[in-house]
Amino acid sequence: MVKCWYMDDRQDDPQDNHLLKDIDTATLCNRTGVQVWQFQADQILVNNDCPSLLKLKQDRGYTYEDEITIEPSMEKYDEKLKMFRIEHIHSDEEIRLVLEGSGFFDVRDCDDKWVRIHVFPGDLLMIPAGMYHRFVPDKQNFIYARRFFVGEPVWTPINRPIGDTHPSRMAYIKSINHKD
């Protein structure tokens, strides 16, 4: 099950927890717009049959999916990790279902503070379009996840500060500011 907390400001090993203050998933959703669901990863891995996941995909319009494995043996691993660690936004939601392994998604809250989300098998995370985030493997250095998309996938990251004026960022800021 997802664990989340505010991060400290240390700049050392990005794979450390950097725990400052725990928060619950309701606070995470309220302060960031991130949504979290929990599924049985083993059921999905064995027979790809999970009615509640199928319903969620249908309800949210996810029509394309693929899988990604991030581990030291992958081609250009160090180069990919550097890219994942750069703070960026996307013009579409980022949806990840962890099937094996674990890792950290770092997201900015409504006050621009870092919140670290530690994901595990069965966790499905939806990061809103226009929200600054990054990915960092945890000390296991392994995650196998399914990615979902509405329509054809677009993987183009828009790095900070260029993303500050992007239409998806403007829409995200407006939506998060109306939650109070």
* pLDDT tens-place string over residues 53-76: 999 999 999 999 999 999 999 999
**51 Cβ partners below 8 Å, 6+ apart?**
none
Q: Which CATH class is domain 3-177?
A: mainly beta
CB 2 within 8 A of CB 25: yes
Tens digit of each residue's pLDDT (9 = 90 or more) over 77-115: 999 999 999 999 999 999 999 999 999 999 999 899 999
Q: Is the pTM of this model over 0.85?
A: yes
Burial of 145-158, coded b for 16+ CB within 10 Å and e otherwise, reads bbbbbeeeeeeebb
Q: Where are the domains of the chain?
A: 3-177
